[in-house]
Every structure is written in structure tokens, then in C-alpha cells.
């Protein structure tokens, strides 16, 4: 499985969050920088482990929008066996 690392400390604004997500996931430059585009892109990925560290940093910086990003990731993990998500507060 491919391991993708997300670091909540690099997600202190929406713009920074999308830049980090795009880079970590290897998404194309034309990626839409929105929750629907993230869900669609994740749906196309196979055999993935997302390691999301410093989740609390992202949630503190982004508030409910950070929670929405986290929920998109969790939805993928809950609906598929080939998509695993691991989180840590720090």
C-alpha cells in the first residue's frame, strides 16, 4: 500500500491546506481545491494509507472547514477496504 503523510501543522490556512494536500497526494495542478474534488480524487486512489499527524493543529487553524476535510478522508476510509486512515493529535 502507498503511504501518504499529511501534517496538520502545514495546514494553517485554507490555501496552505490545499497546497499541502495537493502536494502530498500528488494531485494535478488543475485540482479544484474543494471538498468535492478531494472526495472524487480520493475515490480514484487504490491501496492507500493516509497518515494524518498533528490533526489538532489543522482543526484549530481551520475550524469547521478542517473538520470537513477530515470527514472526507474518514468517509473514504469507512467505505473502502483499500483506503486506510490513521490520525494522531501530534
Instruction: Find the CATH number of the domain harbouring 49.
Output: 3.30.370.10
Q: Tally Cβ neighbours within 10 Å of residue 67.
A: 12
What share of the chain in percent tops pLDDT 90? 97
Q: Measure the CA–CA gap between 72 and 67, rounded to whole angstroms.
A: 9
- pLDDT value at residue 84: 97
What is the span of the domain harbouring residue 76?
A: 2-87
DSSP 17: H
- pLDDT value at residue 21: 98
Q: Tally Cβ neighbours within 10 Å of residue 55.
A: 21
Q: How many domains does the chain have?
A: 1
Using 70 as the pLDDT threshold, list the residues of the chain that sit under it.
none
Amino acid at each position: 500500500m502507498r503511504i501518504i503523510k499529511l501534517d496538520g501543522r502545514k495546514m494553517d490556512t485554507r490555501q496552505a491546506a490545499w497546497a499541502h494536500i495537493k502536494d502530498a497526494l500528488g494531485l494535478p495542478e488543475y485540482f479544484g481545491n474543494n471538498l468535492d474534488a478531494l472526495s472524487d480524487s480520493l475515490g480514484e486512489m487504490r491501496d492507500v494509507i493516509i497518515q494524518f499527524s498533528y490533526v489538532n493543529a489543522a482543526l484549530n487553524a481551520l475550524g469547521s472547514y478542517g473538520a470537513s476535510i477530515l470527514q472526507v478522508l474518514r468517509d473514504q476510509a469507512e467505505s473502502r477496504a483499500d483506503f486506510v486512515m490513521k490520525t494522531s493529535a501530534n
